[in-house]
């Protein structure tokens, strides 16, 4: 049984988190279990949602520490106790401390609501991403699942899915139409990881077998 931890932050609603938990519970992600959800603040709706779904939660507040390294050490303590095979970011909008990234090389996944390397980087999350896409005149957008490295949104790409940008789209309508695509793409990427079908070579991730 593969053990998965999910990290959330801020006031994340937890839609991607709930999709992953549900997929594990249904067996859509085989032989896997979300064993812990870690938040950065106690009032995150995602944590309450995780509890309702029967998943243990805890809080590691970065504001309680003097620097990112100290926060990372506290986060590592929690993660080591949970013994994850995979860590998934879901609405975690901070830059993950470098000491955490180095402790779990190519074992941390994130989903971003755009087609990286476009519309990524610090501050590019939520509706800001969709606003930027619409303002750019792009005809398509999508989501990207990637391995996490020590920078924002720059790790090797695992999967991408595309949706149309319509002429009458607002950031809100585009986000709503993309959300179920995000869920499906994240679940697919996690399943590929769990099945041992991902291989990283340089900047590229290759997938064995049929997707």
Q: What is the pTM of this model?
A: 0.96
Please give the Cα distance from 180 to 132 (Å, whole number): 20
Looking at residue 167, which CATH number applies to its domain?
Answer: 3.40.50.170
Say yes or no: 209 and 184 in one domain. yes
Look at residues 104, 122, 144 and tell me which one is the last residue of a structural domain.
104
Token reading at 28:
């859509």
Say yes or no: 119 and 99 in one domain. no
Q: Which pLDDT tens digit goes with each residue over 80-111?
A: 999 999 999 999 999 999 999 999 999 999 99
Say yes or no: 99 and 160 in one domain. no
Contact 6, 53 (CB under 8 A): no
Say yes or no: 74 and 160 in one domain. no
Say yes or no: 160 and 98 in one domain. no
Range of the domain at 118: 110-211
Say yes or no: 164 and 187 in one domain. yes
Please give the Cα distance from 109 to 134 (Å, whole number): 26
Domains in the chain, number: 2
**CA-to-CA separations, 80 to 39, 60, 86, 104, in angstroms, rounded:** 16, 14, 12, 10
Full pLDDT tens readout for the chain, 211 residues = 999 999 999 777 899 999 999 999 999 999 999 999 999 999 999 999 999 999 999 999 999 999 999 999 999 999 999 999 999 999 999 999 999 999 999 999 999 999 999 999 999 999 999 999 999 999 999 999 999 999 999 999 999 999 999 999 999 999 999 999 999 999 999 999 999 999 999 999 999 987 7
Say yes or no: 97 and 130 in one domain. no
Say yes or no: 118 and 189 in one domain. yes
Say yes or no: 82 and 123 in one domain. no
Say yes or no: 121 and 75 in one domain. no
Q: What is the pLDDT of residue 125?
A: 92
Look at residues 45, 80, 104 and tell me which one is the last residue of a structural domain.
104
Look at residues 59, 81, 104 and tell me which one is the last residue of a structural domain.
104
Q: Which pLDDT tens digit goes with each residue over 34-60?
A: 999 999 999 999 999 999 999 999 999
Q: What is the pLDDT of residue 16?
A: 96
Say yes or no: 121 and 81 in one domain. no
**Which positions are annotated as active-site residues?**
112
Say yes or no: 89 and 34 in one domain. yes
Which segments within the chain are labelled E, that is strand?
2-7, 32-39, 57-59, 86-89, 108-112, 140-147, 157-164, 198-201, 204-207
């Amino acid at each position: 049984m593969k053990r998965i931890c999910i990290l959330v932050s801020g006031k994340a609603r937890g839609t991607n988190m709930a999709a992953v938990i549900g997929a594990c519970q249904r067996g859509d992600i085989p032989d896997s279990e979300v064993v812990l959800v870690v938040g950065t603040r106690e009032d995150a709706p995602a944590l309450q949602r995780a509890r309702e779904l029967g998943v243990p939660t805890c809080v590691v507040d970065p504001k309680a520490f003097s620097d990112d390294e100290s926060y990372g050490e506290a986060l590592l303590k929690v993660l080591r106790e949970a013994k994850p095979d995979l860590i998934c970011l879901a609405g975690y909008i901070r830059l993950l401390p470098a000491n955490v990234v180095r402790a779990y090389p190519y074992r941390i996944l994130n989903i971003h609501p755009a087609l990286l390397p476009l519309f990524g980087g610090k501050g590019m999350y939520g509706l800001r991403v969709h606003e930027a896409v619409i303002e750019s005149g792009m005809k398509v957008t999508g989501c990207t699942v990637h391995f996490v490295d020590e920078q924002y949104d720059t790790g090797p790409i695992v999967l991408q899915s595309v949706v149309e940008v319509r002429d009458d789209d607002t950031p809100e309508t585009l986000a709503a139409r993309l959300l179920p695509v995000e869920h499906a793409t994240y679940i697919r990427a996690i399943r590929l990881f769990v099945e041992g079908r991902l291989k990283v070579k340089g900047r590229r991730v290759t997938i064995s077998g049929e997707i």
